[in-house]
Each structure stands twice: as C-alpha cells, then as structure tokens.
Amino acid sequence: MTLLEIFPSLRSAMTPRLDPAVWPDGTHVDDHGRITVAGVALADIADQYGTPSYVLDEMDLRGRCRTYREVFPEAEIAYAGKALLTRAVASWVTEEGLALDVCSAGELAIALSAGVDPRRIIMHGNAKTPAELAAARTAGVGRIVLDSVTEIALLASSLTRRQNVLIRVTPGIDAHTHPAVATGVTDQKFGFPLAHGQADDAVRRVLGQPRLNLVGLHCHLGSQITDAAHFATAVHLMVGQMAQIRLDHGLILTELDLGGGHGICYRPDDPQLDLSTLAGAIENALDEACARYRFPRPRITLEPGRAVAGRAGVTVYRVVSVKHITGGRTFVCVDGGMSDNPRVALYGARYSVALANRHSSAAPAVVTVAGRHCESGDELAVDVELPSDLHPGDVLAVPGTGAYHHSLASTYNAVGRPPIVAVRDGRSRELIRRETVEDLLRREASR
C-alpha cells in the first residue's frame, strides 16, 4: 500500500502548483487530484460535454474587467470583442462597466443581440464593407474608427446625421511583437501613417465632410506587448499630432484611444504587462506631453481583449494515443489540435499543459502534445513535462485559451468547433454548443 492510498488528502499537496499567472483565479486541485475551475472538475466537463471543450471561468473574466476599472478609473475601457465574443461575454463585460469594441457586422450583431447599448460600441476594421458601415450607422454606434480614404468618402456619403468618428493613426512604433501582429509600424495595412503627411491628409478629408464629427485619434501598437514604455511613446506622438491638428484647423480633439495588445503569460516564465506600471507610464506621458504642447488632457480609451479573456479560459482534451518514436520524441496525441488552437502554427505560441483527471506519482517525461489533424505542424505543446504513465482516456488541460481560440477556430478536416462551457460557483452551462457534422452538411447545396 502506498502513502497516497493511506492518506488520499496528500494528493492535492503533491500535485505541482498551478501557477496563477496562467490559470484562472478559481483553479484548484481537489482531494482526488483533479483540476477544478470555479468548483467544477475539468474531468467532469470532459465527461458531460465531450472533448475538446473550451472552459470559461465567468468570475475570472469579470474580475479582470473590474481590475481594469480600478487601475484606470478615469479611462474608458472597451473590451476588444475579437478576442472572444458571445452573447454571454458581451453581457458580462458591459455589466462590469466596459464599453465594447467590434470589427465586423457579425460581432456587432452579437453585441446588439446581447442588449449592449450601441452608444457604448466602437466599430473597427481596416476594410469595412458598405454593408458593415450601414449596419453600424443604423445601429447608432458611438464611434466609428476610420481606416482608409475610401472609407471616409463612403461613410460620409451614406450618413443622414452626424456620426462621431476617430481616425486610426499609425505612429511608426515597433513594439517588438511577432511580425504577424505588429500593427504600430508604418508598413502594414492598418490606419494612416504619421509619416509623409498621410494622417494629416486624412484629417483634412474628414473635416471636409460635415456629417463626420471628428472627436479623437486612435492607434494600436500590436499584440502581446509587455513593455509599458511603448505606450508612453505613443502618447507623446499622438498628443503631438492632436496639437498639430489644433494649430492647423482650430479643432481640439478630446479622445485618445491607445488600443490594446496588453501581454499576458501563457507559461509561468513568460513576461506580462503590469497594469499598474502601464497606468503610471500613460499618466506620466500625458502630463509631459500635454504640458509640452499646452494641450488639454484628452480622455484615454484602452481596448484590452486577451488581457480580459485569455486567462479565464482552459481547453480540455482527451488523450487518444501515446506514441514513442525510437531515437525520437514521445507524442501524446489528443482529440483536438490546430482547428481549435491555431496559434501554435500561426505564431509559434507556447503553452502549459497539465494532467487534469487524476494525480500521478509517476516520473515526468518530456513529450510533445500533438493534434489530430493531417499536418505535421499540428502540435499543441512541444517539449513539455507530463507524467510518464499517461494513457488513452486521460484528460489534459491547456490554460490561457480564453482569447483567440474560439474566435480563430476552423473546421479543418471537417472537425466541428468545440463548445464553450461557462463555469461559476460549482455549476457549468453551455454558452456555445459543439458544432456537429450535421451542422457542416447543412451548408452544402443539394447535389
């Protein structure tokens, strides 16, 4: 008889610590060695809803909304819906006092169907179609962010009343993020560069349209930014541009939207953006820039998405097979993969993984958690330590999957997208049901 069999309560104490930097706040290990989130065992989620499943801790997400409101009491916080948007999520963030940022007619429809006040919605997008602009106009969204010369003319020609707008400016700041998500540099598709007078030209065009009410400027530096100094630099450049607009046109803009991109941890040793440091950097930069240009302090808007939803999410998978390659790696193959988490293939993202359904006293082994899809690059986690006694049927949990997982999911290999299961106070409920083969077949035309 083992010590664990004599003292079962030691199981949780012997389970490796679940780092709060990557797991939801409500994560614990129960007396059976199972990982629980908000009082619900992830193994029970796997049994009830199947695998893979996205699990979302409602109170963790709400808590991060409250933290933003506390750290930035004078700023407007607009949740970036592209990270994760369902009716429930839209309701949660707005109930916590956040505005909402959407970038398509679909996201706008989800927000409106959840009862979000359209005046609290910001409409983004670098290639908004006439139909999407019409949807935003009809809904009465609070602000539309203008991103191209074509869009300026298109929106202005379709309005019957004044519409508040922001101009998206590209400040030319390299925040040293992955090239695929570096949106602050000049040579990319978003916004009007400060360089070569393109932002100045956009301002002139907007001010020439009587139904466009220019209230401020917008910028976005990229994603997964961990150094607050980049935001301070953006404040200096943007306030300088606002002061130039006052000089050239006699207009005082009152809003400065600094976008989002606030970096979070996916693994315990990852760097992350400290919100208190960010608040101090923005505050100091505003004081300095406004004093330098003698410009009245604008209202700041921040657009966190990943930093609100990312750590609230966990994805559960079931082990299908364990394959040992002589002279090579050990592959733990699961029933999901790049269709529910494309970030590994897209960006080389790296994740933590844990055995969720039991405690194991076996020695750790270095393995690759591989997906089910017909691509050699379909790997969810490379060179991670998991117990050497893993076997088919075990449940694995990957934290940090609340943002850009459901929203980027595909139906590759005709595999339906997973459900989203919300957990709170020991209870679970399905927010989005699993997509079935029947759902996929319904889209096909008859032969």
Instruction: Report the binding-site residues for substrate.
Output: 306, 343, 347, 375, 404
Supply angle C-alpha 408, 108, 400, rounded to 5: 35
Cβ burial 342-365 (10 Å sphere, 16+ → b, else e): bbbbebebebbbbbbbbbbeeeeb
Residue numbers in the known binding site are 261, 303-306, 343, 347, 375, 404
- Residue 394 CA to residue 92 CA, distance in Å, equals 33
Residue numbers in the known binding site for pyridoxal 5'-phosphate are 261, 303-306, 404
Residue 346 identity: L
Total count of residues recorded for the chain: 447
Which position among 65, 103, 290, 374 bears the catalytic label? 374
- Residue 170 CA to residue 192 CA, distance in Å, equals 5
Question: Token pair of 36, please?
Answer: 């629980």
- Residue 407 CA to residue 17 CA, distance in Å, equals 30
Q: Taking a C-beta distance cutoff of 8 angstroms, is the pair 61, 82 a contact?
A: no
- Residue 242 CA to residue 253 CA, distance in Å, equals 7
**Catalytic annotation on 219?**
no
Give me the sign of the Cα torsion angle 284, 290, 291, 293.
Answer: positive
**Residues designated catalytic:** 374
